[in-house]
Structure 1
Amino acid sequence: MSKTTRLALSAPLALMTAASAVPANAQQKTLYVAGYGGSYEQMMREKVFPSFEKAHGVRIEYMAGNSTDSLARLVAMKAKPQIDVVVMDDGPMYQAIALGLCQELTPAPIYDERYDTAKVSGNKATGIGMVATGFMYNTKYFAEQGWPAPTSWADLRDPKYAGKLVVPPLNNSYGLHALVMQAELDGGNEKNIDPGFAAFAEKVGPNVLAYEASPGQMTSLFQSGQAALSVWGSARISSFAHTGFPVKMVYPKEGAVALGIMACPVTGKSEPEAQALIQYMLTPEIQKIQATAYGYGPVNKNAVLTPAEAEGIPYGPEQVGKLRVIDWDYVNPIREKWDKRWTREVER
């Protein structure tokens, strides 16, 4: 159609076209969000983002990757950031804050509804979900062997699990949690980590089939019957159990370890929808979706789950309050040193 022909459109048609162009133009604003891939990405795309996009007239572009990937992206883009909101594990998020990659949250009433464990000093990020690091075990295999369910971090040292145990590597939060808890068994902690390295090298390591970080490989090892016990997070275990595979979550008696799922608005970006998205992810409705669809424990006190929905995930002030919290301000500056030591002493 020529320009002249377009100008000759009738007035009613022109008005109708102009009116319909308003929402179409509004949809052109794009919000860039970085977060986990796999089933988490699927949940966000199908159950979380659509209603937000409709309400705010934005289109969300999702950049999938683990927390290390997302942090690397933020660092690489620091001079010219492209990501508006990032979702990461608590350890990498504290690194992002220290590097000046997160900006302050704008005040909103929803933040008063959080548990204290979701609050971050400096107000440049917030927890949006809670995971507990404990054990996943194959209930069918354990029953066939006549084994009781594991109950303690010390059970990882039991020789009967030789060749059946999987532990994520140290550059994964679950692996780091396991190292700290092994240190605690022998009188150490994150500030005295030597007992943990010794325990892995001498007592736990001989039982380990694989140091595996990939969720896909972890489930594959269980499905093939190669693995029967692992250190893993409650959300991953819940998701796997929902497929019908016979696995169950164990909260060790010494305590499961808190893994905070956090979000922050990225420094150098100023879209108001970024702040709105973080607030939206904290609403009781979305908190319940995250819990039932993916197994994240709610951090909003007003999110209500049934006993069946809450099974296996950290829920409520009593259970959330018992989780062991890592001192990331201490750990992050020396984490690279630990990684090198792990490679040298444990995964050698």
Structure 2
Amino acid sequence: MFARVSQIAGVLAVAGALATPVAAKDKLVINSYGGAYEQIHRKLVIEPFMKKYDVDVQVITAYSADALAQLRAQKAAPQFDVIHFSGGQEVVAAREGLISAIKAEELSNGKDLYPFATEGLSRGEGPVHAVAAIGLLYNKDKAPKKPARWADLWDPAYKDHIVLTDLSNSYGLLGFLMLNKVKGGDIKNPDPGFDAVKGLLGSSVVVSTSPEMQQNFAQNDAWIAPYAQDYAYTLRKAGLPIEFVQGAEGTPAVYLTANLVANRPNQDLAKKFIDFSLSPEVQAGWATELRYSPTNKATKLDDTVAKEVVYGEQAVSGLMRFDPVAVDAARASLVERWKKLIAR
């Protein structure tokens, strides 16, 4: 009788254990940008974070403009916990209450970030976790000399070997705004830039996409182009002798931000994810894999990588940012005017 009671008790215990629900893992929903970027994002951030904190991270591919549109549409019940932007949309998202403010002291890596990376926190924006600097790409084997300034684009030494990028490309737009600035203009007054570019059109090629940029350096004897440091690395991997130079007048850049979405229940976990993205180890990985510049001053890079990105106090001091709200407001008119200019 005792044995039977024990057997029954054992069966009930097993049944009870089977009936007990297994606790679900915490979950985050984030966006990434697809392609090679998303592959590296998973390798450096997403998968290590899931392993460290034993959580699930769902990734939805959504580029910045689409991500902002989704946040707006889902404002009452957003699906994202962390949203990444690369086009300045965090400024708009913060103003519209779509993202929540983060205090620097809530991030263990906050104290080590360069000032430009935390400047937006006071406005409710997320921190900058990586930078794609815009400068001058040049063919070190063919160009008669190494450029040093944006103004060198008008040096006769480079005539007939210049590549310009269409303004529908973010890198091209920032490059144009820098040329306009060098010539004395600003976002509200792009005339100096367009006049200066008009003078270059007779001795340059205009491209719209990155593959076209590569084709011109590989096949069409291009020597110099305003473009991004990460793409200089892409060209070198393709076997081309291309180097990146910061123009002495300043270095505009694409600032990649990680933002805390408002009205979500697991913001503490989301902050940990953002903080993880800011660690020196992760940022060294971005620099090594894609040649993005780190925003954490504690990041250590080997000499080869350090020479190919904007790295260190002195180099970072040259970074500048055009007002993303003003740029977004002017974008359509600038692109339309550009199209008319190059169609002549």
TM-score, scaled relative to structure 1:
0.82
Checking the alignment, whether the CA contact within 8 Å between 2:148 and 2:245 is kept in structure 1 is yes
The offset of 1:167, in angstroms, is: 3.1
* Structure 1 residues 224 and 81, CA gap change in structure 2 (3 angstroms): farther
Matching of residue 267 in structure 1 with residue 262 in structure 2 = yes
1:210 partner letter: V
Give the aligned partner of residue 102 of structure 2.
105
* Structure 1 residues 336 and 97, CA gap change in structure 2 (3 angstroms): farther
Matching of residue 277 in structure 1 with residue 278 in structure 2 = no
Equivalent in 233, 237, 242 of residue 238 of structure 1: 233
Aligned length, in residue pairs: 332
* Structure 1 residues 148 and 278, CA gap change in structure 2 (3 angstroms): same
The offset of 1:72, in angstroms, is: 3.5
The 2-side partners of 1:62 and 1:221 are apart by 35
SS in 2 for 1:206: helix
SS in 2 for 1:109: coil
The 2-side partners of 1:35 and 1:155 are apart by 36
The 1-side partners of 2:263 and 2:215 are apart by 41
Checking the alignment, whether the CA contact within 8 Å between 1:35 and 1:70 is kept in structure 2 is no
TM-score, scaled relative to structure 2:
0.82
The offset of 1:174, in angstroms, is: 1.9
Give the aligned partner of residue 314 of structure 1.
310
* Structure 1 residues 186 and 221, CA gap change in structure 2 (3 angstroms): closer
Identity %: 30
The 2-side partners of 1:179 and 1:264 are apart by 28
Checking the alignment, whether the CA contact within 8 Å between 1:85 and 1:265 is kept in structure 2 is yes
The 1-side partners of 2:217 and 2:70 are apart by 32
1:341 partner letter: R
SS in 2 for 1:265: strand
Provide the aligned C-alpha RMSD in A. 3.2
Checking the alignment, whether the CA contact within 8 Å between 1:164 and 1:228 is kept in structure 2 is yes
Matching of residue 335 in structure 1 with residue 334 in structure 2 = no
1:246 partner letter: P
* Structure 1 residues 300 and 217, CA gap change in structure 2 (3 angstroms): same
1:236 partner letter: Y
Equivalent in 293, 296, 305 of residue 297 of structure 1: 293
The 1-side partners of 2:211 and 2:28 are apart by 28
**Runs of at least 5 residues in structure 1 that lack an aligned partner in the other structure:** 1-6
* Structure 1 residues 337 and 225, CA gap change in structure 2 (3 angstroms): closer
* Structure 1 residues 245 and 30, CA gap change in structure 2 (3 angstroms): farther
Counting only pairs closer than 5 Å after superposition, residues 33-48 of structure 1 correspond to structure 2 as 33-48=30-45
The 1-side partners of 2:291 and 2:185 are apart by 31
**Runs of at least 5 residues in structure 2 that lack an aligned partner in the other structure:** 1-7
